[in-house]
Amino acid sequence: MTSDLITLLRTDLLFADFSVEGLTTLWGDEADAALHRAQRVPAIRALADQRSPSATLATLFVLGMPVSREVFESALPVIGLDGAVSLGLVEQTDDLVRPLLDLRPYSFVDAHGVVSWWIASDLGELSTGGALREDHVLGVGGASMTLSGLMIGTPADSALDLGTGCGIQAMHAARHAKRVVATDISQRALDLASLNAQLNGIDNIEFRLGSLFDPVAGERFGHIVSNPPFVITPRTDGVPAYEYRDGGLVGDALVASVIAGCAEHLEPGGVAQLLGNWEYGIDRDGLERDGLDRVGGWIDASGLDAWVVEREVQDAALYSETWIRDGGTRPGAEFDRLYGAWLDDFAAREVTSVGFGYLTLRSPRSSSTLRRLERLDGPVGSGLGPHVVATLDAHDRQFSLDDDLLSRLVLAVAGDVTEERHYWPGNEDPTVMTLRQGGGFGRSMALDTGLAALVGACDGELSVRAIIAAIAQLLEADESALSAELLPSIRELIETGFLA
């Protein structure tokens, strides 16, 4: 019966053109941008005189406002009010129909093409006007879009989405994996994730109830993805423990636990991708404790290949404010009480700030070779998955070559790379030379004279050895010494995609 109702709902949504592009056309770019800031007034004003099915659905399910029964049944004539009530989408009060779920379109582009889905989740603060329930099921937010954008599309027999929530990562993984297992500690989350998979015609996901890796004990996967409940929350009475973000452990222990679990559940060569937080602070000896060093310790213990990118560091106060506000608590007495609990927790454990970033882990087929822990806080584009794959492949290629074989390569500068040179007025020689990458993480790399000359000559014609020989002659330098100096930089430029 439920599957039949979902089919009827899909028919109505298609007929109404309930799509990302359709909604933007309805209310315009300004209102769309305001909604991303959690402000709905511009969208309400834009829809005030519109009576199309799409406008009704947007009013009800995106803006979280009631509509009349007559207007509702005009917008959803196939499933009708009784069907929508049975599916748990709405409730009727007198002549008004009120939403029980958030339902909105979602679109993206990946290696397989352009995709449009609909995603159901719990109503947010914008609709309820108050703090979230502890069993709140989050929809598609910034973090989930970040992870899906990072996701590699390498075909896999099996994939695992750890802590699936509304199911968005499992649905993405289902596009390149033959079989996906999605786990969550919340039955409500699994029910909504199953609804979303069915609504979008995805039938290769299996949903399992349980904490972290418990539901997949003894199993291994070619790909693991997780936006785990990593938010550092005080273990104090009276502090809400939101299931979608709080794993119930102290500090950043949840991320350490997930890394260890990935080592046990990845197939040889399998890749795990997750988001996480890690703590900075003061250790028992009074020395500064670096957050990335903590992550490095967890990785060393796991034996996994790892590439960790730290994107942001927030001081303890800002971190506390961010996540208290995320739970729907507005400034006031309750906000201040929670604020004090968070700061007490950080102070007691001598935590000064919290880092956030991305982790790409891989189960090595022999011994671990990849260990990149870096801070990259510049602006990046969307769809980084292909760049992640290219970086892993480039690492493997260059790592397999000794210096002699590396020097025989014929390289070319990647198409998105530019070079900047800065001069003191009147000087012929540059004082600063920098390579910049237009794609990927938008990296920059400082150049000295020798490396600048080498990169400039990488046009797909000469080998690295021939170029170094020519530069050595030009600079009247020892060729062997120059080669030993430049080859490590060449390896880095290959791995990070400056040279191909």
Give the gyration radius of the chain's Cα atoms.
26
For residues 125, 131, 137, 138, the Cα torsion angle rounded to the nearest 10 degrees is: 50
User: How do residues 363-419 score in pLDDT, each as one tens digit?
Assistant: 998 888 999 999 998 888 778 999 999 999 999 999 999 999 999 999 999 999 999
Across the range 486-496, mean pLDDT stands at 95
Q: Which CATH architecture has domain 108-368?
A: 3-Layer(aba) Sandwich (3.40)
Contact by Cβ (8 Å): 464, 447 = no
Check pLDDT > 90 for residue 24.
Answer: yes
| pLDDT value, residue 477 | 92
Total-model pTM: 0.94
Check pLDDT > 70 for residue 29.
Answer: yes
Strand partners, 230: 246
454 sits in the region (left: phi over 0; alpha: psi -120 to 50; else beta) called alpha
Across the range 193-203, mean pLDDT stands at 97
Compute how many other C-beta atoms are within 10 angstroms of the C-beta atom of residue 286: 7
Which residues of the chain are in CATH 3.40.50.150 domains?
108-368
User: How do residues 320-372 score in pLDDT, each as one tens digit?
Assistant: 999 999 998 999 999 999 999 999 999 999 999 999 999 999 999 888 899 99
| pLDDT value, residue 1 | 60
CA distance readout (Å), 500 to 148, 393, 497: 26, 11, 7
| pLDDT value, residue 433 | 93
Check pLDDT > 80 for residue 131.
Answer: yes
- Following DSSP, what letter does each residue of 276-289 receive, concatenated? EEEEEEE-TTS-EE
Across the range 39-43, mean pLDDT stands at 93
| Phi, psi at 251, each rounded to 5° | 60, -135
Listed in sequence order, the residues at least 6 apart from 306 whose beta carbon sits closer than 8 Å to its beta carbon are: 299, 359, 360, 361, 362, 368, 370, 371, 372, 373
Proportion of the chain above pLDDT 70, given as a percent: 100
Task: State the average pLDDT for the chain.
Answer: 94
User: How do residues 133-153 score in pLDDT, each as one tens digit?
Assistant: 889 999 999 999 999 999 999
User: How do residues 94-121 score in pLDDT, each as one tens digit?
Assistant: 899 999 999 999 999 888 888 999 999 9
What's the DSSP call for residue 62? I
* Distance spanning both ends of the chain, measured CA to CA: 55
Among residues 373, 499, 197, 475, which one has the least CA distance to residue 487?
A: 499
